[in-house]
A and B are shown apart, each in its own frame.
Chain A
Amino acid sequence: MSVFLQVAVLWMIRQAWLSMPLIAAVAGMAIAMAPANLARGLVQAPDLVLICVFFWAIYGPSFLPPWAVFLLGLIQDFATGGPIGFWALIYLTAYGFTLSQRVFFSGRSGPGVWIGFAMVASVTAVVAWVLGSTSYARWMMPWAIMSQAAVTILFYPLVARLLSYLRGTLTTAREAP
């Protein structure tokens, strides 16, 4: 009996640990929203969720499946007070775009993937601008979106390094499914 209990507890811990990519993304979102206000409102906070979405789309989509990306987007929508479904759609688009280009990223070194992320972040910014202009029914000023994309691209290597450590605890495979 105690063996079964042990197995059950271990299984639960394993499952909880497997959801770490999602938890880490939510934690990143919460940290970016903490009111430290280091940039004095002049530049945007980095979009850490986008980095997570890109990273897991390349290095293991099974650790952050589409439903988790959708959930992350919904949480972002609720947390920012914007229209519900807005960020969910943007993150799913970024996830899908990265997945479709995955073959170009696999096996590349750090700077190569960084350039890839810059490309995905730029495409996401354009999608966000179009969707924002449609959704808010007025032309958005592209400056804010561009500045957030730039800050996010700058933050990519640091966050990707942290996520690589997390991935190391989840799988040892070079190419996770």
Chain B
Amino acid sequence: MAWDRRRRRASETGPWGFVAHNLSLVSFVVIALGVLVVARAQGDVFEEAREVFNDAGAPIMETLAVPAAEVKRWSDGVGSLFTLYAENQRLREENERLLAAQSELAYLQRKVLRYEELLKAPAEADVTSVAARIIADATGPFAHTVLVNAGRAQGVTKGQAVVDERGLLGRIIASGERSARVLLLTDLNSRIPVMIEGDNLKAILVGDSSLRPVLEYLPPGSRLTVGARVVTTPDGGVFPPGVAVGRVAAGSNEPRVQLFTGEGRADFVRVLHYTAPVDVDKVAPEADPANGKAGAVSSNPVSGPPPQAAAPTPHAPHAAPRQPT
């Protein structure tokens, strides 16, 4: 009897015994592995399912977002109690600075308007926006995405830029009927074209799961100024020009950007509707000389002369008047 028990145990233990006892577990592992391989090979296979899932989950997450917003309000309130005096001082100083900047801004606005009139500059492409609420924050060690409660019904489509009051947050990667998923700038799959103001350099901002994404594809030998503002460029016709992204960060081996939307998260965001007036890819090669001239009157935030690295193509959308198609 004892011998039998020992023999049975010997056959039941070990990896094969475990597999034999957990066949359903092993088969689900194999299915999951298969699904993962298919999903990585053909990313679009599950796109529709994702949209349906987002739409189905949106009402639940929307309900949960209400108490979550209340919790956030309380925690912000408690946190600010300890820094009330310092915060007050900071706001006073900022207010003084802003008041000084306000009069200068009004003067510059009048000046730009007058120049535009003199040069008969065409109107810029309109950027309209839709307000939406963040209803789910799926920021984990891998994916960095949020769900917003606006979808195709509100005109939100794939590729549109999403901003909060501080700057660019990310772009829409999947849009359902009533909800849409935003890929944040910090996500591993996020890559957006940006321009470094002042240095007039173009680069691709690549997310790597850290709070500070990396600047890649900089022109060789380029030097960056720490603290320089990084803004979007309309290259590829996806983002409107000049949306604030962050500042060039100090203290790291590779060039990184401290995002304006880095810490904390807004409750409400704006999804920008931007239509590039011309197809940049098609027009760029033959339209260079004309664009070079038009670039001077564009309202691109980078006002200095475009260096060699910064091709005049980003100015093309402004230069060409919007034609009804």
A-side contacts of B138, CB under 8 Å: 33, 79-81
CA distance A148 to B209 in the complex (A): 13
A-side contacts of B113, CB under 8 Å: none
Known: A33-B138, A135-B36. A70 touches B31 (CB 8 A): yes
B36 touches A84 (CB 8 A): yes
CA distance A30 to B147 in the complex (A): 12
**Contact partner, A82, options B54, B65, B142, B210, Cβ 8 Å:** B142
CA distance A73 to B28 in the complex (A): 11
A-side contacts of B217, CB under 8 Å: none
Interface flags, A83-94, vs B, CB<8A=1, else 0: 111101100110
CA distance A40 to B18 in the complex (A): 43
A-side contacts of B49, CB under 8 Å: 78
Report A6 CB to chain B, min CB distance, Å: 32
Report A22 CB to chain B, min CB distance, Å: 14
Interface flags, B39-79, vs A, CB<8A=1, else 0: 11000001001100110010011001101110110010000
Interface flags, B128-170, vs A, CB<8A=1, else 0: 0000001111111111011000000000000000000000000
B265 at the interface (CB under 8 A from A): yes
Known: A34-B136, A81-B183. A92 touches B32 (CB 8 A): yes
B35 at the interface (CB under 8 A from A): yes
State the total of A-B contacts with C-beta under 8 angstroms: 161
A-side contacts of B140, CB under 8 Å: 44-45, 47, 80, 144, 148
Known: A35-B135, A67-B24. A30 touches B64 (CB 8 A): yes
Interface flags, B195-235, vs A, CB<8A=1, else 0: 00000000000001111000000000000000000000000
Interface size of B as a range: 35 or more
- B182 closest partner in A (C-beta): A81
**Contact partner, A41, options B22, B53, B54, B263, Cβ 8 Å:** B263
A65 at the interface (CB under 8 A from B): yes
Known: A34-B65, A92-B25. A83 touches B208 (CB 8 A): no
**Contact partner, A36, options B46, B50, B71, B146, Cβ 8 Å:** B71
A148 touches B141 (CB 8 A): yes
B69 touches A35 (CB 8 A): yes
Report B74 CB to chain A, min CB distance, Å: 9
CA distance A93 to B134 in the complex (A): 32
**Contact partner, A135, options B40, B46, B141, B208, Cβ 8 Å:** B40
**Contact partner, A70, options B32, B65, B69, B71, Cβ 8 Å:** B32
A79 touches B209 (CB 8 A): no
Interface size of A as a range: 35 or more
B101 at the interface (CB under 8 A from A): no
B280 at the interface (CB under 8 A from A): no
A40 touches B32 (CB 8 A): no
A163 at the interface (CB under 8 A from B): no
A128 at the interface (CB under 8 A from B): yes
B142 touches A86 (CB 8 A): yes
**Contact partner, A85, options B35, B72, B173, B211, Cβ 8 Å:** B35
CA distance A41 to B16 in the complex (A): 43
- B136 closest partner in A (C-beta): A33
B1-42 residues with Cβ-Cβ distance < 8 A to A are 18, 22, 24-26, 28-29, 31-40
A83-120 residues with Cβ-Cβ distance < 8 A to B are 83-86, 88-89, 92-93, 95-96, 99-100
B72 touches A81 (CB 8 A): no
CA distance A33 to B136 in the complex (A): 5
B188 touches A138 (CB 8 A): yes
**Contact partner, A34, options B68, B173, B183, B189, Cβ 8 Å:** B68
Report B186 CB to chain A, min CB distance, Å: 9
A42 at the interface (CB under 8 A from B): yes
B-side contacts of A100, CB under 8 Å: 18
Residues of A participating in the B interface, judged by any CB pair closer than 8 Å: 30-31, 33-38, 40-42, 44-45, 47, 65-67, 69-70, 73-74, 78-86, 88-89, 92-93, 95-96, 99-100, 128, 132, 135-136, 138, 140-141, 143-145, 147-148
Q: Which 6 A-B pairs have the closest CB atoms?
A: A85-B36, A85-B35, A34-B68, A144-B141, A82-B143, A81-B145
- Besides A42-B263, A83-B40, A85-B37, 4 more A-B contacts (Cβ < 8 Å) are A35-B72, A41-B211, A81-B174, A88-B36
> Could you list 23 A-B pairs, sorted by A, with CB under 8 Å?
A30-B136, A33-B137, A34-B65, A34-B136, A35-B69, A35-B265, A35-B267, A36-B71, A37-B72, A40-B263, A78-B53, A79-B57, A81-B143, A81-B183, A85-B32, A86-B142, A88-B35, A92-B25, A92-B28, A132-B141, A140-B188, A141-B208, A141-B209
